[in-house]
A = this chain, B = another copy of it.
Amino acid sequence: MDFSALLTSAGINIGFCALFLSLYSVLRKQPHNFSVYFGRRLAEEKFRQQVDYFSFERLLPTAGWIVKAYWCTEEEIRRVAGLDSVVFLRLFIFSIRIFSITSLVCIFGVLPVNYHGKEKAHAHIPAESLNVFTIANIREGSRMLWVHCVALYVITVSACILLYYEYKYISRKRLAHITGSSPSPAHFSVLVRSIPKSDNELLDDTIRNFFVNYHGSSYLSHQMIYRKGNMQKFVDNAERAYRKFVRVKLSAFGQSRRSNMSRCGLCGVRASSFQLYRNKFIDSKKSDLSDPDVIEAQKDCPGAIVFFKTRYAAIVASKILPSSNPMLWVTDLAPEPRDVYWSNLWIPYRQIWLRKLAVLAASVAFMFVFIVPVAFVQSMMQVDQLQQMLPCLRGVLKKSIFVRVITGYLPSVVLLLSQYTVPPLMMFFSSIEGSISRSSRKRSACCKVLFFTIWNVFFVNVLSGSVINQLNVLTKPKDMPSMLAELVPKQATFFITYVLTSGWASLCSEILQVYNLIYNFFRKCVCCYWDEPEYVYSFPYHYVVPKVLLFNLLGFTFSILAPLILPFLLVYFCLGYLVYRNQILNVYYPKYEMGGKLWPIMHNGLVFALVLTQIIALGVFTIKHSPVATGFTILLLIGTILFNEYCRHRFSSIFDSFSAQDLIELDRDDEQSGRMEEIHQHLLDAYSQASNINGSKSSKNGEGPIEMVLDDPAQEASDSNQELIDTVKEVTGAIQEHAIQEHVEEK
């Protein structure tokens, strides 16, 4: 590929991007696409009031959304989309900053050196092969390698400084988030699992006695979690039928549907008969220990949520080993109510370590098994081999168009396949692992996808040609740097086009929401369901974050090897920043808050990218016989590892836990302002799953423990149903809050 071809390709891609963005700016103005492009806003009911008039302006592409996305402040984003979105956008800010510096250094410093690396007659630049711009053009033993070494130093040092300040900034944001947000029931609650069962005591009493005994002054109440018995399944089915009926009826109501439903269908008045039934059922269970039903129910209780009077007491109870058997009375800080992953709570605690190991093994196995299709496709790319394997295809393969399709598109298809199949699979793995919260499941999936992406996109493509043969590199870690140094520059062209196509295209597809757009079109125009779909998506961190980190990795590793990739990456990051800002503001609805816990993952990913860059540079300097540069790079490598260690010591605890100081201050504030009573009241039904389903105003008795019933794992289907209802309820809550806020503001 020569330089002009690259420019042409870039030009075409820029054209396509401009086209798609204009298309987006038109499509977003069409009212029937509001559910696709304004999911979050719809959920907050701001667009309801707009009248559906037609104007010519609706068909003109505009750049207003870019301006809106750009001028929105960070604080505003935090308020509407949570801290995680802010953290995610900080990743883009970091990337833009570091790659501005890197581009500056590498385009003006390294690129000319590479270009003039070998003394030969240069052609006119546009006709020059891309290899002339890579480090492969430097001859062995060249004295100009110091430029690369200095560039590496500049990049690493500025990346470390920026990373340090980002970590500091985000940890300050996290602390402000903890102290500044409204009291969360999660801070007062501890999830207790693996409760020892006794034959002559009700489980309920066991829990109360234990906590009254050892945390007497701070224990408030507790709720037990039960799996559904047969009786309850019947009740639930009836409930589900009822809810369906309510929904059908409501769909006729049109505009006032949502608030109406939230009041009568979800908040309990009409569902009181079921509640009564359930209460009766629960009462009967409590009668005595001779009843086999009670014993059965005891067996089915996987744990309880225990409430404490203060945040500090809750964290103390969760951090200190409760009993001398670490497998009993396992305490964790409870996730937020909307964040609890109910169907995982039934997993016996003693299985969890085994599940984690099994999932680890399965993920690693999957990572390596995925090489098989990659290798197969790459063997197809070598047309000669294919002809040998399948002689019948010889005729077809002679036609150059087929060859082009096979060699040009199949690798991209495999990469795309991985992009679409892997995240759900890793999410499934993370569910099996036994995470108690949706957020930890997503974080775990994010890590898995990250490993997978780096391995299968970066390494497998670098070691391409004959992947299986190159796998031997794993068994010879010593040869790794020089092998990488030899192979990476060769793949520069592939990765530049990868950034152009996969990177830019993914942003266009992200902003156009192609899948949802088509689904919406068919739903409305073909199937004639004119009501808005109720499901709002939450931000897919688990596959967007690894993708952005992969582009960072590409940027760092190719920075001194093939600096031509940098401008394209910089465009990707700038465009991505705007696009994701827009999506966060308009499309995705945050269902739970991770409190910025994604940053340590991103930080580690970025440091890994730096270290990999240095290892490859080590290999390059060794191959090019530059011992001085090698020595300095080793120093830099050690420095980077030390920097990472320091950051881990300085910041990581902040993301793992809360500090006593903050929690005690918060508790004091609440006590002094007299809000504590109210918080305690709210606490008692925050986690009641029953109240989530049919609104248990009646269960607010405030003294006795409230029973929670959770779905059988087999009934995963109802889980998504649950998610839907949760969302609607949150939305209702948000509306009510909004209304109250407005009310207050009016006053």
Residues of A at under 8 Å CB distance from B? 175, 213-214, 312, 315-317, 319-327, 353-354, 357, 475-479, 642, 645-646, 649-654, 657-662, 664
Contacts and interface: CB of A to CB of B under 8 A. Distances in A.
A326 B660 contact: no
A646 B315 CA distance: 26
A215 B233 CA distance: 48
Contact of A660 (B320, B354, B475, B651): B320
A175 B658 CA distance: 29
A651 B657 CA distance: 24
A213 B667 CA distance: 13
A654 B354 contact: no
Given A326-B651, A327-B649, A653-B326, A659 B321 contact: yes
A475 B475 CA distance: 7
Contact of A319 (B319, B646, B664): B319
Contact of A323 (B478, B650, B661): B661
B653 A321 contact: yes
Nearest to A217: B217
A649 B353 contact: yes
A353 B661 contact: no
B357 A659 contact: no
Contacts of A320: 312, 315-316, 319, 657, 659-660
Contacts of A324: 175, 654, 659, 661-662
Contacts of A653: 321, 326
Most buried by B among A323, A325, A652, A654: A325
A576 B653 CA distance: 45
Given A316-B320, A354-B645, 9 more contacts: A175-B324, A213-B664, A312-B320, A319-B319, A326-B650, A326-B651, A353-B646, A354-B642, A475-B479
B661 A326 contact: no
Nearest to A319: B319
22 contacts: A214-B664, A315-B320, A316-B320, A317-B660, A320-B657, A320-B660, A321-B654, A321-B657, A322-B661, A323-B661, A324-B659, A324-B661, A326-B650, A326-B652, A327-B650, A353-B645, A353-B649, A357-B642, A475-B476, A475-B478, A476-B476, A477-B477
The A contact surface, by secondary structure, is: helix
A470 to B, nearest CB: 14
A353 B649 CA distance: 8
Nearest to A660: B320
A352 to B, nearest CB: 9
Nearest to A323: B661
Given A476-B475, A651-B326, A321 B353 contact: no
Contacts of A321: 653-654, 657-660
Which 3 pairs between the two chains have the least Cβ-Cβ distance? A326-B653, A475-B478, A321-B659
A454 B662 CA distance: 47
Contacts of A323: 659-661
A146 B652 CA distance: 51
A321 B642 CA distance: 23
Contacts of A325: 650
A326 B654 contact: yes
Nearest to A477: B475
Contacts of A649: 326-327, 353
Given A327-B649, A354-B642, A645-B353, A659 B478 contact: no
Contacts of A327: 649-650
Nearest to A664: B214
Contacts of A214: 660-661, 664
Contacts of A479: 475
Nearest to A178: B324
A550 to B, nearest CB: 27
Nearest to A651: B326
A321 B214 CA distance: 21
Nearest to A478: B475
Contacts of A315: 320
Nearest to A315: B320
A664 B212 CA distance: 12
Which among A475, A649, A652, A661 has the greatest number of chain B C-beta atoms within 10 A? A661
A231 B645 CA distance: 39
A321 B171 CA distance: 15
A276 to B, nearest CB: 40
A53 B376 CA distance: 92
A430 B651 CA distance: 26
A572 to B, nearest CB: 35
A214 to B, nearest CB: 5
Contact of A322 (B357, B654, B659): B659
A320 B661 CA distance: 10
